[in-house]
Amino acid sequence: MPFDPTIDSIKTHTIPNWFNDSKLGIFVHWGLYSIPGWAPTTGPLPEVIASQGWSGWFRNNPYAEWYMNSLRIADSATAQYHAEQYGADFPYERFAAMFNEQIRNWNPDPWADLFKAAGARYVVLTTKHHDGFLLWPSTQPNPFLAQYHTERDLVGELTTAVRSRGLNMGLYYSGGLDWTFNDRVIADISDLFMAVPQSAEYTAYSDAHWRELIERYAPSVLWNDIGYPSQADIPRLFAEYYNRVPEGIINDRFTQGEMTPDGPRPVLRHFDFRTPEYAVFNDIRPDKWEACRGLGFSFGYNRNETVTSMLSADALIHSFADIVSKNGNLLINVGPTGDGTIPSEQADRLLALGHWLETNGEAIYNSRPFTHAEGSTNDGTPVRYTRKRDTLYAMLLGTPQSQQITIEGIHIQDGGTVELLGHNGNLEWSQDALHLTVTLPANIPDSAAHTLRLPLAPPANMADRVGIVEE
């Protein structure tokens, strides 16, 4: 049924099953900032803000994709690096010609193959970041900078490659920042809100871009960032999108400013899912959410990042299991170099995750949260839970030190079978009113996580079936 351009109408849109079931997406930050590929390795967003405040964050911004803003802060490490490598009078926009030269031999197929092997079910590509550079030759070119876009249609080529592997394709667009329209230097959090372009020209420009992306590529996800011009007609844009892509979804970053008697305040009129950044929720959320982060401290490629500043494969798997147990998806980022090479230390972690999913994916894909997300064994091994119908999955985050483990607070069906994913045969088990004890196979291989498949006791009443997946 078509959506009308009203808030009431678009709010009837529901989260499609594909997004609930997918669990894992790949974020791709690629653009002019990938040419210098440099930022200080300051640390993760929440920790830096807690210790240095927002001004400290922007002055020592570890997000390499913010290179254009960082180099305009006079005392920043990025400004010093840029002067040493390119000269203080080298304008950022000159990276456009260099980027177009370097992408001539880029092939989207290895990317799509890697994302598929990682176990991802969808991809989100940055079509325009805050620097305003476009990764597709738009019919709405930048009005201030000539040829400020890719000569190749990178958006279209990657979309085709990703979909040919059976994955969904989403698109990111920075609607809230475009430093070619508003060049205010962002040195503190107050500058961020003042830097959102609010002109009629930019409102029409960003709307035209989103409509062009929707019409050309029919993205499964509209992933906006920072905010959106206050005068934009959000209900109309969203209705047009849902009517074009009925199973499409919209993130929670189309925030607009609204004047009140007490001054301006942010207003978020509609969204399908939340997007915490370098953060996760501590418990099961009733509404769908998606955690996004880089493998290191940056989204864009940062040549300063090494394996020591990135998530280990085990930490990535543990974080992923934790997020899924709490009704979330993980949108894990890769930052390719200027020529489109995904660094091996990034690819290796994705492949390790994919290898784990080959055995344990049954507990991840198409699952839903259990009554509680977390537990532990008697030897202190953390446990995360998911479920499908009357099957419970207990993911042990590590290899237990003893063959016999006890999990508190789990009661399973009498006479049922307990299995370890990836192992042939049933496991011995016993239980009392408060504990489940399972004997694991002897000499199980060391792994980031192991998954027990458990038969849940039938619920006493229908109210207890809330959250159970009916397939």
In the prediction, which pLDDT does 398 show? Answer: 97
Give dist(CA 142, CA 161) in Å, integer.
27
In the prediction, which pLDDT does 33 show? Answer: 98
Q: Please indicate, yes or no, whether residues 119 and 182 belong to a single structural domain of this protein.
A: yes
∠ CA 162-166-171, nearest 5°, is: 40
Instruction: State residue 382 phi and psi, 5-degree precision.
Output: -65, 150
In the prediction, which pLDDT does 52 show? Answer: 93
In the prediction, which pLDDT does 459 show? Answer: 62
Q: What residues contact 412, with CB distance under 8 A and at least 6 apart?
A: 392, 418, 429, 431, 436, 454, 455, 456, 457
Write down which residue in 338, 363, 388 finishes a domain.
Answer: 363
* Cβ atoms 375, 409 nearer than 8 A: yes
Residue 369 lies inside a defined structural domain of this protein: no
Residue 396 lies inside a defined structural domain of this protein: yes
Q: Please indicate, yes or no, whether residues 315 and 389 belong to a single structural domain of this protein.
A: no
Q: Please indicate, yes or no, whether residues 179 and 267 belong to a single structural domain of this protein.
A: yes
CA distances from 413 to 370, 374, 391, 450 (A): 16, 20, 10, 21
* Cβ atoms 144, 81 nearer than 8 A: no
Q: Which pairs count as long-range contacts for 152-156, CB under 8 Å and 24+ apart, including other chains?
A: 152/100, 152/103, 152/104, 152/106, 154/30, 154/103, 154/106, 154/108, 154/125, 155/125, 155/127, 155/213, 155/216, 155/217, 156/216, 156/217
For 405-425, write each residue's pLDDT tens digit.
999 989 999 999 999 999 999
Residue 470 lies inside a defined structural domain of this protein: no
24 closest CA partner among 444, 418, 361: 361
Write down which residue in 330, 363, 396 finishes a domain.
Answer: 363
Residue 450 lies inside a defined structural domain of this protein: yes
In the prediction, which pLDDT does 153 show? Answer: 98
CB atoms within 10 A of CB 182: 16
Give dist(CA 423, CA 439) in Å, integer.
13
* Overall number of domains in the chain: 2
Q: Please indicate, yes or no, whether residues 184 and 308 belong to a single structural domain of this protein.
A: yes
Residue 219 lies inside a defined structural domain of this protein: yes
Q: Please indicate, yes or no, whether residues 326 and 411 belong to a single structural domain of this protein.
A: no
Give dist(CA 208, CA 182) in Å, integer.
18
In the prediction, which pLDDT does 443 show? Answer: 85
Q: Please indicate, yes or no, whether residues 45 and 128 belong to a single structural domain of this protein.
A: yes
Residue 16 lies inside a defined structural domain of this protein: yes
Q: Please indicate, yes or no, whether residues 359 and 436 belong to a single structural domain of this protein.
A: no
Q: Please indicate, yes or no, whether residues 259 and 386 belong to a single structural domain of this protein.
A: no
The CATH number of residue 441's host domain is 2.60.40.1180
Residue 368 lies inside a defined structural domain of this protein: no
Q: Please indicate, yes or no, whether residues 389 and 457 belong to a single structural domain of this protein.
A: yes
What residues of the chain score a pLDDT lower than 70? 1, 259, 263, 459-471
The CATH number of residue 161's host domain is 3.20.20.80
Write down which residue in 304, 334, 363 finishes a domain.
Answer: 363
Beta bridge partners of 404: 439
Q: Please indicate, yes or no, whether residues 205 and 257 belong to a single structural domain of this protein.
A: yes
Residue 417 lies inside a defined structural domain of this protein: yes
Q: Please indicate, yes or no, whether residues 420 and 353 belong to a single structural domain of this protein.
A: no
Query: What does the longest C-alpha to C-alpha distance in the chain come to?
Result: 75
Q: Please indicate, yes or no, whether residues 13 and 119 belong to a single structural domain of this protein.
A: yes
Instruction: State residue 121 phi and psi, 5-degree precision.
Output: -115, -10
In the prediction, which pLDDT does 263 show? Answer: 66
Tokens of 275: 């997007």
Q: Domain containing 422: what range?
A: 374-465
